[in-house]
Amino acid sequence: MIRVTRITPHMARITLGGPGLAGFVNGGLDQRVKLLLPLPGQTEPVVPEGEEEFGWYQSWRAMDPAVRPVLRTYTVRAQRHDPDEVDIDIAVHGDHGPGSRWAVTAAPGDRVVVCGPAIEDAGGVEFRLPDGADWVLLAGDESTLPAVAAILDELPAGLPVKVFAEVDRPQEHAYLPAGRAGTEITWLHRGAPGTPALPDAVRAAALPGGTPYAWIAGEAAAVRELRRHLVGERGYDRRAVCFMGYWRLGRTEDQRADEPVEADAD
């Protein structure tokens, strides 16, 4: 079962349902899963075979590109039971990519494959709030907003949080919860005159003292620059900066299938 709800002009909520979700274990926070999506003209993807751990991935890599399903990584926004459902929020920007196109065109009756954990602590959760953190920094672009929202849902009440979010337009502000006590959100509008890029905005900001914990994600080059700033210029402990390149400009997850195996380790 697939149900599509438009949350903001550039964010679609894909609700997945079915008996196959009964064994899915959501670790919360920034829990990531991989979706295998049908190619244009298909209502369901061709499923790669493989019984060993990650065997399906090696089979996917070896598939003929003409039938190989689209592979994308997304954050779980919510999970419910009775019936079993999972919400995946996807940033959509017209016809800019197969994941975005699928989110716009998905319809009831279409099928996808969800590759995610079936046991506790099986992976896919990177946000690990350490004991003693005085405040939290969350920074990213549209692709990270579902994870940011899920993290805000689960943080201890009253813990101060600074959020820096880079989006296209003000209409996207409605996505993040605005009522959490202690949360300050700085919105950056990409391309607007006088608006700094995400790393520059954080670099120029007056951030709190005390012991921080930072979670930064989004475009890989921006994430690297921001991490260098936090560790090198602000002196944050490396262990207190969680960072992930959710995507890379000019490169898709599908392109990794045709790279040497060693490239998957970076």
DSSP string, 194-257: TPPPHHHHHHHS----S-EEEEEEEEHHHHHHHHHIIIIIS---GGGEEEEEEEBTTB-GGGGG
pLDDT for residue 93: 75
Q: Tell me the per-residue pLDDT of 43-70, one tens digit each, with 9 for 90 and over.
A: 899 988 876 666 888 999 999 999 999 9
Given its phi and psi angles, is residue 163 left (phi above 0), alpha (psi -120 to 50 degrees) or beta? beta
pLDDT for residue 40: 85
pLDDT for residue 266: 25
Prediction pTM value = 0.90
* Ranges under pLDDT 70 in the chain: 51-54, 94-96, 251-266
